């Protein structure tokens, strides 16, 4: 049966009168009678019994009409859910994020996002900025959040910049760096960040560190520094202000301007047309407005 036939049966069951039902359905009585006969033929049973007083349902007819009402109710529910899809943010938001940002900044934004859009799902991968750019090029994610200055032709949003500091438990002046025998602790990173640190070091000291320890994670570097094993150069995003007995010396260039590290949000035009991506960018902007000087 078509949906209009389900409606026909429910109207007949409500009116129990061919004339009144025909008027409600905007058809003639003969046409309605013919359609009812066809429906009964499909079911292979009598659904209504006619009499001078009107219509009455057969036992089988009661089952058929109940089924027709359930179908109509289900269709209405599906329509309501489809309409709600237009109003709600659904789908999976795929993000690739620089590890340092994923650990120290993104959780606050994602918390706000899931509270505001509980029907959306999140897929998150972290890594180096070069890996994130590749994930974008390979169409594996909708949004990339990277560190540094991006060579990106598509839409991009500047998130924040944070300063670089020489961090140590003992050294409180830059000139004391070359006096210590304790190691310079470095973490592996994208080549442009590593090169930026190298350039600053050579401008400042015209030589290489006496001793160096290289670790694979910035958090390892931070914890080793905080435990007094050596000194390190860390971005402000990793320093939450709760460190005890730690000296933080800002890095400056030749013009005495503080060295900063930028963070950007990138994506393709097509990705920003998705409702969940637009919603996330909206939440990011709200977060930036409420936390304008996070670092």
- Among 149, 145, 154, residue whose Cα is nearest residue 126: 145
Distance CA 158, CA 152 (A): 12
Q: What is the pLDDT of residue 109?
A: 96
Q: What is the pLDDT of residue 231?
A: 96
Query: Max alpha carbon distance in the chain (Å)?
Result: 113
What does the DSSP 8-state code read for residue 217? -
- Among 193, 192, 200, residue whose Cα is nearest residue 166: 200
Q: Which residues contact 266 (CB under 8 A, 6 or more apart)?
A: 133, 136, 143, 144, 145, 146, 150, 152, 154, 155, 156
- Among 52, 257, 264, residue whose Cα is nearest residue 149: 264
For tokens 């409606």, the residue is: 7
Q: Please, which contacts does 146-150 make with residues 24 or more away whose CB atoms are closer than 8 Å? A: 146/98, 146/263, 146/264, 146/266, 147/98, 147/100, 147/101, 147/190, 147/193, 147/261, 147/262, 147/263, 148/190, 148/192, 148/193, 148/261, 148/262, 149/192, 149/262, 149/264, 150/264, 150/266
| Domains of the chain, first to last | 3-87 (1.10.10.10), 92-160+261-290 (3.40.190.10), 163-260 (3.40.190.290)
Locate 24 and state its tokens: 């409600």
- pLDDT tens per residue, range 38-86: 999 999 999 999 998 899 999 999 999 999 999 998 988 787 667 656 6
Q: What is the pLDDT of residue 124?
A: 96
- Among 240, 266, 233, residue whose Cα is nearest residue 129: 266
166, burial (CB in 10 Å: exposed 0-12, middle 13-18, buried 19+): buried
Which residue ranges of the chain lie beneath pLDDT 70?
Answer: 1-3, 80-81, 83-87, 191, 241-242, 293-295
∠ CA 232-256-228, nearest 5°, is 15
Q: What is the pLDDT of residue 48?
A: 96
Q: What is the pLDDT of residue 293?
A: 63
Whole-model pTM above 0.85? no
Q: What is the pLDDT of residue 164?
A: 94
């Amino acid at each position: 049966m078509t949906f209009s036939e389900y409606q026909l049966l429910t109207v007949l069951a409500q009116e129990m009168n061919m004339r009144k039902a025909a008027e409600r359905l905007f058809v003639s009585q003969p046409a309605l009678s013919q359609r009812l006969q066809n429906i009964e033929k499909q079911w292979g049973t009598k659904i209504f019994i006619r009499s001078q007083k009107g219509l009455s349902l057969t036992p089988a007819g009661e089952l058929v009409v109940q089924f027709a009402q359930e179908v109509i109710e289900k269709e209405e529910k599906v329509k309501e859910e489809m309409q709600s899809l237009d109003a709600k943010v659904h789908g999976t938001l795929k993000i690739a994020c620089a590890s340092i940002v994923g650990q120290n900044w993104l959780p606050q934004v994602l918390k706000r996002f899931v509270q505001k859009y509980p029907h959306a799902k999140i897929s998150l991968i972290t890594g180096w900025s070069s890996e994130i750019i590749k994930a974008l090029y390979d169409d594996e994610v909708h949004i990339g959040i990277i560190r540094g200055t991006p060579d990106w032709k598509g839409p991009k949003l500047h998130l924040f910049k944070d300063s670089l500091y020489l961090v140590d438990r003992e050294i409180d002046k830059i000139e004391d760096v070359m006096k210590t025998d304790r190691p310079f602790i470095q973490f592996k990173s994208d080549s442009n960040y590593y090169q930026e640190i190298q350039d600053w070091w050579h401008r400042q000291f015209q030589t290489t560190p006496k001793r160096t320890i290289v670790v694979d994670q910035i958090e390892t570097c931070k914890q080793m520094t905080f435990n007094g094993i050596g000194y390190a150069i860390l971005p402000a995003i990793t320093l939450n202000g709760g460190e005890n007995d730690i000296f933080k010396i800002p890095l400056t260039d030749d013009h005495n301007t503080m060295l900063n590290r930028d963070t950007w949000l990138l994506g393709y035009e097509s990705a920003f047309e998705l409702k969940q991506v637009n919603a996330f960018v909206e939440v990011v902007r709200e977060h930036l407005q409420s936390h304008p000087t996070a670092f």
